[in-house]
A and B are shown apart, each in its own frame.
Chain A
Amino acid sequence: MIRKKKWMATVLSVAVILGLVVTGCGSTGGGNAAAPKEMKMSWNPGAEPKTLDPQMSNGIPEAIVELNLFEGLTRLDKDSKPQKALAESYTVSPDGLKYTFKLRDSKWSNGDPVKASDFKFAWMHALDPEAAAEYSYQLFYIKNAEAYNGKKAKADDVGIKVVDEKTLEVDLEAPTPYFLSLTAFPTYYPVNEKWVKANKDWNTKAETFVSNGPFKMKSWAHNDKIVAVKNDNYWDAKNVKLTELTFNLVEDGKAALTAFEAGQLDGMDNIPVQDIDRLRAAGTLKNTPYLGTYYYRFNVTRKPFDDPRVRQALTMAIDRKTLIDKVVKGGQTPAFAYTPGGIPDAEAGKTFRQVGGDYFKEDLAKAKELLAQAGYPDGKNWPDNVSILYNAGASHETIAQAIQDMWSKNLGIKVKLTSQEWKVYQQSEQKLQYDVARAGWIGDYVDPMTFMDMFVTNGGNNQTGWSNAQYDADIKKAKSTGDQKERMTAMHDAEKILMTEMPVMPIYFYVNNYVAKDYIKGIMRSPLGFIDFKNATVEK
């Protein structure tokens, strides 16, 4: 009797375990029989997309996938200039406030025609207060968009008008010279109104995913991979060479790099810092500009950082080149201003950074002098409890240690280090519960404004307590005019104030380090971190 029970238990447990194994593996069969003339590529965008509903997403991994599945009114070329895409033509009113787009004939991946109303439907969804899209503010350039999203205006008041099936009219709040770049951004993509209304949660699985870009979704195994294939209904399909594009969703950089080196992946971003030297020596590492600045914030509401001379002294007393070569290692550019390079200025062929130039130098003698004037000669009287706040992980800690050391050696001041978990650190910054805090900013669009309007008085991303009336006035002026020369001048003036008052200490401008197999050609990387595979090819 007892023996029988035991046998039953054994048989049962084996059956259960086998059941688990079989069901677990049987559901996802991976067949990759390669037919000859196919051209396939795989890339790791760094994470499982939070969503692929273009209006609801706001991250880089999401944008990378969406950029290749969708097409907006415009698409950015290799110089980040907007080129007509779904818009066959457009006109802008003389005051810069009204854009009229004529759509070309094109189809969704399910064969439906793309209509002007698809754009309106998508944009209104992003603005709908009920939908609560995080990136709704990307559309606040449109007349009454912000008011509607804040429940202060009706949906009908929003300046998006469908004139006919192929004509879309957009009224803006203020002249926005970079509006055509914005229409290339995922928040501005259309979605198939008819299909979306009939299929709730259409964007969470491949079977119901309808798009209008160079590629369409074939399968989506969550947290594993997205397989996209060439979309024959795409208006410019003749220029799409890849037949299949796979996004392997690997979050761990180390695991992804192993997969790349083992030949499971053709390319990836987010290279682990400890592997950068090795990859560079092997000649595998590639990089492109990235529109971002790594900097430290000073809390100007706390002593001793209420004194601009202290902030200036600390900013001048670190050696950025050594920091980049020995600690960060990614080939970044030392930053002597806040706005990074790569953004065109009003003058043709020149960037905003070239026109503005550097605003300060690393100068130890000057730094010591300023610190003495502020009442801390050679670090005397320096308060005990000053600390650098950073979030745990990545190289933030080693950078903070290096800067701590440089300040100590160069100025004789002691600071402590405080590490906090990512979200706790964000809250400390926002509530001004820090002395000096590590920060990074990646541009949302290719215009200096995405960097410059952060530091207006009480701006949500200011987070330093700093306020300057002239700075506010310059930003306001730049936002109210469509004249590029006038705008840029106002923003140069503002940056000069920012870099004199120094509520922030620029450290370096980002670069995007990545690896890709040599047979991968024609991928287009934007300084916003997006990757366009539309013209990519595999040349083995």
Chain B
Amino acid sequence: MARYLIGRILSAIFVIWLVVTLTFFLMHAIPGGPFSSEKVLPDQVMANINARYHLNDPLSKQYFDYMNNMLHFNFGPTFRYEGRTVNDLFAAGMPKTGALGGLATVISLIGGTVMGVVAALRQNKTADYFVTFLATIGISVPSFVIATFLQYYVGYKLHWFPPVGWGEMKNLVLPAAALSAYPIAQITRLTRTSMLDTLNQDYIRTAKAKGLPGYVIVFRHALRNALIPVVTFLGPFFAYILTGNFVIEFVFNIPGIGQFFVTSISNRDYPVIMGTTVLFATLLVTFNLLVDMAYTIVDPRIKLTGRKEA
């Protein structure tokens, strides 16, 4: 296990390095710079800017400087927001993105599991059809459509929750609902399918024959095994929560970090592009590792080893 972990961590570091390096050179390859604008600056002003931000240094020097700073957790100043650093932006935005993503995670996991179990227990009955219908909508309608829909009808027409903004619990409801629509649908489908599968297993029949009450069978015996495929989904799930955040944050004007993922590129804000890349790459790699470790907890048959075993 320890050996496996060390191997995984080393390969994770390699992946992050590769992503960061590729991003660095790609970013400098696209036309237009952080300070190019519709109104062209006088040459001498541009020269001063390039000197201040070291944009005139050879690319290799900029690269090594960046890597060096990165190792010291210094992600540099943002070019767009004068006087603030990438670390400042992240410190301000992370808790908000985290709160939204966290709430969406809770809603998806609980809601998805419950709906999946209900659908499986009531297979081919009204409740099952209803849940399947909802799940199909959740999977096929993009989150920005759901977000706009909720914002307009639930926020603006019904006045149940504020349509945009941040600061209070009630501001979180619509964005979290929009963000969890897709994962909740996926988890529902996965839970339903594997629950149906599990309920037909011999040991469930044995449990029933022993005369155990229904809730014990469902919660103690069936659900645990039924959740293994759901754990598999957690890797892509976290990736979705991270990237899906951007759209949701934009629509509801939430001051998180998701927006920087895209706006930094159109602004050519090099340090923020790099910062978001490092951050998101690290989070994804870490989540994937955690998911792999979670397998061993949920399913004791799986062993993590460094070698491939037959």
Interface secondary structure of B, over-half rule:
helix
B211 at the interface (CB under 8 A from A): no
| Docked-complex contact B167 and A223, CB < 8 angstroms | no
Complex CA distance for A430 and B40, rounded to whole angstroms: 8
| Docked-complex contact B167 and A224, CB < 8 angstroms | yes
Per-residue interface assignment for chain A, residues 424 to 451, with 1 indicating a CB less than 8 Å from any chain B CB and 0 otherwise: 1011101000000001100000000000
B89: A residues at CB distance < 8 A? 222
| Docked-complex contact B166 and A28, CB < 8 angstroms | yes
A460: B residues at CB distance < 8 A? 40-43
A20 at the interface (CB under 8 A from B): yes
| Docked-complex contact B45 and A224, CB < 8 angstroms | no
Pick the residue among A27, A258, A424 that contacts B95 (CB under 8 A).
A27
Within 69-106 of B, Cβ neighbours of A (below 8 Å) are at 80-84, 88-89, 92-93, 95-96, 98-103, 105-106
Within 306-341 of A, Cβ neighbours of B (below 8 Å) are at none
| Docked-complex contact B45 and A204, CB < 8 angstroms | no
| Docked-complex contact B30 and A250, CB < 8 angstroms | no
Complex CA distance for A264 and B297, rounded to whole angstroms: 48
B6 at the interface (CB under 8 A from A): no
Closest chain A residue to B41 by CB distance?
A134
B155 at the interface (CB under 8 A from A): yes
Per-residue interface assignment for chain B, residues 198 to 225, with 1 indicating a CB less than 8 Å from any chain A CB and 0 otherwise: 0000000000000000000000000010
Complex CA distance for A251 and B43, rounded to whole angstroms: 31
B294: A residues at CB distance < 8 A? 9
A538 at the interface (CB under 8 A from B): no
A25 at the interface (CB under 8 A from B): yes
Within 34-55 of B, Cβ neighbours of A (below 8 Å) are at 35-45, 47-49, 51-53
| Docked-complex contact B32 and A427, CB < 8 angstroms | yes
B163 at the interface (CB under 8 A from A): yes
Which among B11-19, B118-126, B251-259, B275-283 touches the partner chain?
B251-259
Closest chain A residue to B78 by CB distance?
A50
Closest chain A residue to B89 by CB distance?
A222
Nearest Cβ on chain A to B206's Cβ, whole angstroms: 19
Pick the residue among B31, B49, B93, B259 that contacts A134 (CB under 8 A).
B49
Known contacts A17-B102, A28-B167, A460-B42: A427-B36 contact under CB 8 Å? yes
Within 97-136 of A, Cβ neighbours of B (below 8 Å) are at 129-134, 136
B33: A residues at CB distance < 8 A? 423
Within 435-474 of A, Cβ neighbours of B (below 8 Å) are at 439-440, 460-461, 463
| Docked-complex contact A24 and B96, CB < 8 angstroms | yes
Nearest Cβ on chain A to B306's Cβ, whole angstroms: 22
Pick the residue among A20, A150, A204, A255 that contacts B99 (CB under 8 A).
A20
Known contacts A17-B106, A262-B155: A252-B253 contact under CB 8 Å? yes
Pick the residue among A151, A223, A224, A262 that contacts B162 (CB under 8 A).
A262
Nearest Cβ on chain A to B288's Cβ, whole angstroms: 16
A279 at the interface (CB under 8 A from B): no
B58 at the interface (CB under 8 A from A): no
Nearest Cβ on chain B to A377's Cβ, whole angstroms: 37
A249: B residues at CB distance < 8 A? 253
| Docked-complex contact A224 and B166, CB < 8 angstroms | yes
Closest chain A residue to B49 by CB distance?
A132
Closest chain A residue to B151 by CB distance?
A258
A56: B residues at CB distance < 8 A? 82-83
Closest chain B residue to A1 by CB distance?
B300
A17: B residues at CB distance < 8 A? 102-103, 105-106
| Docked-complex contact A132 and B52, CB < 8 angstroms | yes
Pick the residue among B95, B106, B164 that contacts A256 (CB under 8 A).
B164
Nearest Cβ on chain B to A258's Cβ, whole angstroms: 5
| Docked-complex contact B268 and A423, CB < 8 angstroms | yes
| Docked-complex contact B255 and A223, CB < 8 angstroms | yes
A57 at the interface (CB under 8 A from B): yes
Complex CA distance for A167 and B164, rounded to whole angstroms: 48
Complex CA distance for A146 and B255, rounded to whole angstroms: 39
Interface size for chain B: under 10, 10 to 19, 20 to 34, or 35 or more residues?
35 or more
| Docked-complex contact B259 and A223, CB < 8 angstroms | yes
A2: B residues at CB distance < 8 A? 297, 300
Closest chain B residue to A5 by CB distance?
B297
| Most central of A204, A255, A428 by chain B CB within 10 Å | A255
Nearest Cβ on chain A to B84's Cβ, whole angstroms: 5
| Docked-complex contact A6 and B297, CB < 8 angstroms | yes
Known contacts A20-B98, A50-B80: A259-B255 contact under CB 8 Å? no
A461: B residues at CB distance < 8 A? 39-40
B250 at the interface (CB under 8 A from A): yes
Closest chain B residue to A8 by CB distance?
B297
| Docked-complex contact A250 and B164, CB < 8 angstroms | yes
| Docked-complex contact B105 and A440, CB < 8 angstroms | no
Complex CA distance for A201 and B77, rounded to whole angstroms: 12
| Docked-complex contact B255 and A426, CB < 8 angstroms | no
| Docked-complex contact A259 and B41, CB < 8 angstroms | no
B133: A residues at CB distance < 8 A? none
B266 at the interface (CB under 8 A from A): yes
Known contacts A17-B105, A25-B169, A56-B82: A427-B49 contact under CB 8 Å? no
Complex CA distance for A29 and B187, rounded to whole angstroms: 33
| Docked-complex contact A221 and B41, CB < 8 angstroms | no
Complex CA distance for A422 and B294, rounded to whole angstroms: 45
Complex CA distance for A127 and B297, rounded to whole angstroms: 63
B63 at the interface (CB under 8 A from A): no
Q: A222-B84, A463-B40 are in contact. List 17 more A-B contacts (CB 8 A).
A: A6-B224, A21-B99, A129-B48, A130-B48, A132-B45, A132-B51, A203-B83, A249-B253, A250-B253, A255-B251, A255-B253, A259-B163, A264-B163, A421-B266, A427-B31, A430-B36, A440-B38
Jot down 28 A-B pairs with beta carbons below 8 A, ordered by A: A6-B297, A18-B102, A20-B95, A20-B101, A23-B95, A23-B98, A129-B51, A131-B52, A137-B41, A140-B42, A201-B83, A204-B83, A204-B88, A223-B92, A224-B167, A224-B253, A224-B255, A255-B164, A255-B251, A259-B253, A262-B159, A423-B31, A423-B32, A423-B36, A423-B268, A426-B36, A427-B31, A463-B40
* CB-CB nearest 9 A-B residue pairs: A24-B99, A423-B32, A51-B82, A30-B167, A460-B40, A223-B255, A20-B102, A150-B44, A132-B48
